[in-house]
């Protein structure tokens, strides 16, 4: 690593050099606000596991030293399964007790059995952690008792990702701070939650869709204030409850109850994931359309609608009332090109639609659809298949402005897949670089809460992030590609 910056991404081949620079001048660590270890992996280095252990790169000792030298202003720490065996008790203790300014912490995929013992031994001495974003995404083996030790000490928490963990609703109801208001919550594939009755009680928790005491105290002042306020900033905006219950448990009536509670207290939702629930029907789609006007990403892969039926298509067309809706997942209900075409021609604002890989394999790489405008004139739209060069487990079809733009995105996707060709100008000898263009909707397709903090990128979205937040191992977890 040539220099230290506020946004520091670390790879295994550069970590030793990075640490040496810190050791030579301890003050350099004061400039580090962001540590991202998502690229720290032996994959692609051409080394055996034994040789990796012998090189002076990341160990529990060097990781602890790195955190100590960067502790003064470190705000974001992104860890993952690649280094979970290097998280010792001393490292864990320092993360929660030594990093006083830490706002964002991600343990994505960390399921090392030793971590369970370390968390059991952990005592948090700081009763007011500054943590605003906390992720245990895909930490499969950590028991729910771990969260009961951490959640009471997070009075500033705004984003909580517990996707595919052993968390229970009893733990959440008892230990989640009642004075916070979460803006992002993921309980995706949490099979140990408990009963639906407990889930309804949890939704009414002050941190989710309930009412806090300070909200009641300020209610009169808000009514007397004619100016626009930013109260929506403190409402739930991102919710993923994909397959947290079986379809037998989550009946149509119970889905109605869930949507009613969320709509009454969190109408500013921008992301909603209801994948896996076959009892989702047209009535629910109408309720979503009427209740969540700010929605940008809607995931309802198993919705019980027939996209060859004019009546059901008219229900989907009502989604045009959601002017910001950009991403739509109805993949399990769209298994033919004809149904896909019907959806595309009915929707106006949607830019990307998730489809199943078997359908993507049958499509041309670039499709052209005709649309009749309000004036009765025909216009052509171009839609491109996005499937990571055929290697994705998830696939999308997305709108492009022209054939030329599609080619630029092709170049980018080829580059991301490691297939970039090096070309030289035969006359000048200059290196030829293919122009590329990135898609801007990947954050909307993510199943993982963005935990990046204080990254000054022009494309950074407050709620969803961008392609810089869904890359490497985090791209695998967020997009399952």
Kindly report, residue by residue over 333-361, the tens digit of the pLDDT: 999 999 999 999 999 999 999 999 989 88
pLDDT(323) > 70: yes
Residue range 130-135: average pLDDT? 96
For residue range 62-106, list pLDDT tens digits in order.
999 999 999 999 999 999 888 888 999 999 999 999 999 999 999
| Residue 15: per-residue pLDDT | 83
Residue range 166-180: average pLDDT? 96
Pull the structure tokens for residue 79.
Answer: 């860890």
pLDDT(477) > 80: yes
Is the C-alpha dihedral spanning 249, 253, 256, 261 positive or negative? negative
Helix (H, G, I), strand (E, B) or coil at 77: strand
**pLDDT confidence band for 459 (50 / 70 / 90):** very low
b/e 239-250 (16+ beta carbons within 10 angstroms → b):
bbbbbbbeeeeb
CA-closest candidate to residue 75, choices 3, 7, 22: 7
**pLDDT confidence band for 226 (50 / 70 / 90):** very low
| Residue 83: per-residue pLDDT | 87
Average pLDDT of the residues of the chain: 86
| Residue 227: per-residue pLDDT | 41
pLDDT(147) > 50: yes
DSSP 8-state code for residue 157: -
| Residue 210: per-residue pLDDT | 75
DSSP 8-state code for residue 70: T
| Residue 423: per-residue pLDDT | 63
Q: Percent of the chain scored above 70 by pLDDT?
A: 82
> Which stretch of 124-133, 370-379, 433-442 has the lowest confidence by average pLDDT?
370-379
Contact 285, 261 (CB under 8 A): no
Angle CA(454)–CA(457)–CA(458) in degrees, nearest 5? Answer: 130
Q: Percent of the chain scored above 90 by pLDDT?
A: 61
Cα–Cα distances (Å) from 121 to 56, 124, 136, 229, 348, in that order, read: 28, 10, 18, 44, 55
Pull the structure tokens for residue 156.
Answer: 């500033």
Residues sharing a CB contact under 8 Å with residue 223, sequence separation 6 or more, in sequence order: none
| Residue 457: per-residue pLDDT | 53
d(CA 34, CA 207): 27
pLDDT(253) > 70: yes
| Residue 44: per-residue pLDDT | 42
DSSP 8-state code for residue 168: -
Residue range 37-54: average pLDDT? 56
Q: What is the CA radius of gyration of the chain?
A: 24
CA-closest candidate to residue 358, choices 400, 390, 310: 390
d(CA 364, CA 362): 7
Contact 367, 376 (CB under 8 A): no
CA-closest candidate to residue 328, choices 445, 213, 428, 248: 445
Report the predicted TM-score, pTM, of the whole model to 2 decimal places. 0.90
**pLDDT confidence band for 8 (50 / 70 / 90):** low
* Chain CA centroid to CA 299, Å: 13
């Amino acid at each position: 690593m040539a220099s230290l910056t506020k946004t520091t991404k670390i790879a295994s081949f550069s970590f030793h050099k990075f640490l040496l620079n810190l050791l030579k001048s301890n003050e350099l660590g004061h400039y580090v606000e962001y540590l991202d270890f998502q690229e720290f992996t032996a994959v692609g280095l051409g080394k055996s596991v034994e040789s990796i252990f012998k090189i002076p790169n990341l160990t529990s000792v060097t990781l602890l030293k790195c955190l100590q030298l960067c502790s003064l202003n470190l705000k974001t720490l992104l860890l993952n399964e690649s280094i979970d065996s290097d998280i010792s008790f001393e490292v864990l203790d320092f993360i929660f007790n030594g990093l006083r300014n830490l706002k964002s912490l991600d343990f994505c995929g960390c399921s090392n059995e030793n971590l369970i013992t370390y968390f059991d031994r952990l005592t948090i001495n700081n009763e007011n952690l500054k943590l605003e974003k906390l992720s245990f995404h895909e930490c499969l083996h950590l028991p729910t008792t771990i969260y009961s030790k951490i959640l009471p000490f997070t009075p500033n928490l705004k984003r909580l990702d517990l996707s595919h963990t052993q968390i229970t609703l009893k733990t959440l109801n008892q230990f989640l701070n009642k004075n916070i208001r979460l803006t992002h919550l993921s309980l995706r594939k949490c099979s140990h939650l408990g009963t639906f009755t407990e889930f309804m009680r949890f939704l009414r928790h002050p941190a989710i869709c309930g009412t806090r005491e300070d909200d009641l105290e300020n209610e009169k002042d808000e009514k007397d204030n004619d100016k626009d306020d930013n109260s929506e900033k403190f409402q739930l905006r991102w919710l993923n409850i994909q397959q947290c219950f079986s379809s037998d448990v989550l009946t149509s009536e119970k889905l109605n109850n869930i949507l009613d509670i969320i709509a009454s207290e969190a109408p500013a939702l921008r992301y909603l994931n209801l994948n896996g629930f076959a009892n989702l029907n047209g009535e629910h789609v109408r309720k979503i359309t009427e209740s969540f006007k700010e929605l940008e990403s809607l995931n309802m892969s198993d919705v019980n609608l027939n996209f060859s039926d004019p009546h059901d298509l008219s229900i989907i067309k009502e989604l045009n009332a959601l002017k910001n809706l950009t991403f739509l997942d109805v993949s399990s209900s769209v298994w033919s090109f004809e149904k896909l075409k019907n959806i595309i021609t009915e929707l106006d604002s949607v830019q990307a639609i998730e489809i199943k890989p078997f359908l993507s394999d049958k499509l041309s790489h670039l499709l052209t659809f005709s649309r009749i405008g309000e004036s009765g004139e025909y216009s052509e739209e171009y839609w491109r298949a996005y499937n990571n060069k055929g290697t994705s487990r998830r696939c999308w079809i997305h709108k492009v402005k022209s054939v030329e733009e599609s080619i630029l995105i092709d170049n980018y996707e080829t580059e991301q897949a490691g297939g970039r060709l090096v070309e030289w100008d035969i006359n000048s000898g200059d290196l030829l670089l293919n122009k590329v263009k990135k898609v801007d909707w990947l954050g909307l397709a993510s199943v993982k809460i963005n935990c990046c903090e204080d990254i000054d990128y022009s494309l950074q979205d407050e709620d969803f992030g961008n392609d810089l937040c869904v890359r490497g191992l985090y791209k695998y977890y967020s997009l399952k590609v």
